[in-house]
Copies of this chain bind each other. A is one copy, B any other.
């Protein structure tokens, strides 16, 4: 790397050049600067026979001529109008052969990028992503702090275990047998701050979640964490819409508010998911009425089930040439894998307005034509018909909708505008869900502090399973980027939910329950997942591309090789020892 200098003249531009010896970055020289003497610092991107070189820094590239005779070469870069003729040059450091070139189009494996992350960070794309992230967060802070009087409060990360906190990392303390936990969110603290009268809190909060190996998840992640007193759901939604509008990067075009809103029930019925990608159609269509008198056994069976239903989606051009084979395989795989209790059949819309299918002979003409009408099928469209339990049928069709959309796009069909940003509020979630392992018992759909929907408050004590909540999710292009709720502020109601409905041991939460008894104000909040949001804004293919030093999907840092073994003496102050699995223990002792 190099310090190219002609004469020490300070530039007026102090934005990037304050406090350092350069007078210009490698990105800012233009023809208007011709004749000036400048000092540049950067890395040699390219050099040729001692004739000229290209200097790179975090702002761009500049061509440097090593004077011998008049060389002129117009380069295709923003600074291409000028060349800097070197007067003096100082080599500040040397560089051994790089494991990969610092050029965006040079392909390298993710493992190699992670091992040499500090070199990977020199790429234009990584620097762009990190700078954009920094700018978006700064704008969010301006909006919250400077425009709306929020107080940025830091909350602890060494905390107490939360009930059911199976995904919390533990941190041994120096007191034998006692552990801190790294919390998954500042949920308790943000509520305690409202009880403490702080009125409006936010934090760009580091959170922790130990999920073992999960792709595109990180053991530590960041959320924009917000809580307000005396607020309702509409207030929080309005705040967030303003926040995103204010912080949205100009180069991604404006976003319009308010965002559309959809109930959880509608999202499930129309998109088979609680985070619909509304950038394209292919909605799920209820066709129960069409097949009320169907003779097909599996349709009849579905209609006789308590939550039975028949639903369809139409895949445009899904039956064209070879894609049909892929789709059929896909459907079979999914149906087998996901849910053997449900059935799913394929029907192809023919040019003569009829449907081709192994089951078509069991359907009468009216049913077929009604179905074509209901899903608006055109020639060569593919209709998927699924029957079974409502939630499962919708979920399967929702997944197939997304997978087939990917397939259709891979084939060249323009389904989703890659530059479009579709925000959506999903509201009116159920407050409780049946436990998967024991459906007679209930668990919180989100967390036990969520307030019931005002219209359903009385149901809480009679039919809790029917209570809707004041939870809201924010969805962007089919990804959940945030979620929050109005919280329970009444101590008795909170105790009833924890003890009577959820059968939780409240001991771990006794401080919060007591706090609610001291005049807790009505309050609510939200958290936005920053990594995911920035990933969607930048169009990065993974959240690892918007994090400076991410972990691998196994939770490892491939650069430093963390986590790592440590010597037993270093565990002694914490009164813990490793419980080696037997096989490994033997290897260790050998």
Chain A interface residues (CB < 8 Å from chain B): 1, 3, 14-16, 18-22, 41, 43, 56-59, 92-96, 98, 116-122, 126-127, 130-131, 133-135, 137-138, 141-142, 145-149, 151-161, 166, 169-182, 188-189, 192-193, 195-200, 206, 208, 210, 212, 219-220, 222, 228-232, 235-236, 238-239, 489-490, 511, 515, 517-522, 547-549, 551, 555, 557, 559-566, 570-581, 584, 588
Number of copies: 2
| B576-A578 in contact (CB<8A) | yes
* Supplied contacts A1-B520, A156-B220, 11 more A-B pairs, CB within 8 Å: A15-B147, A20-B229, A95-B519, A118-B192, A121-B197, A127-B198, A138-B152, A158-B208, A173-B563, A176-B579, A575-B580
| B41-A148 in contact (CB<8A) | no
| B551-A156 in contact (CB<8A) | yes
| B148-A548 in contact (CB<8A) | no
By a CB distance below 8 angstroms, the chain B residues around A19 are 148, 228, 231, 235-236, 238-239
By a CB distance below 8 angstroms, the chain B residues around A138 are 141, 145-146, 152
**7 pairs from A and B in contact (CB 8 Å cutoff):** A19-B231, A135-B145, A138-B145, A153-B548, A155-B549, A178-B564, A180-B563
Query: Closest residue of chain B to A569, judged by CB?
Result: B166
| B562-A180 in contact (CB<8A) | yes
**Bound-complex Cα distance A173 to B58 (A):** 36
Partner of A154, one of B145, B548, B572: B548
| B20-A212 in contact (CB<8A) | no
**Bound-complex Cα distance A188 to B95 (A):** 19
| B149-A145 in contact (CB<8A) | no
| B118-A178 in contact (CB<8A) | no
**Bound-complex Cα distance A215 to B395 (A):** 56
By a CB distance below 8 angstroms, the chain B residues around A549 are 155-156, 189, 192
State the Cβ distance, A188 to closest chain B Cβ, in Å: 8
| B160-A561 in contact (CB<8A) | yes
**Bound-complex Cα distance A196 to B175 (A):** 40
By a CB distance below 8 angstroms, the chain B residues around A489 are 92-93
| B196-A570 in contact (CB<8A) | no
**Bound-complex Cα distance A182 to B43 (A):** 33
| B193-A21 in contact (CB<8A) | no
| A57-B197 in contact (CB<8A) | yes
By a CB distance below 8 angstroms, the chain B residues around A573 are 210
Partner of A565, one of B3, B21, B178, B580: B178
By a CB distance below 8 angstroms, the chain B residues around A3 are 230
State the Cβ distance, A7 to closest chain B Cβ, in Å: 17
Q: A96-B518, A566-B161, A570-B166 are in contact. Are A121 and B229 (CB under 8 A)?
A: no
**Bound-complex Cα distance A575 to B580 (A):** 6
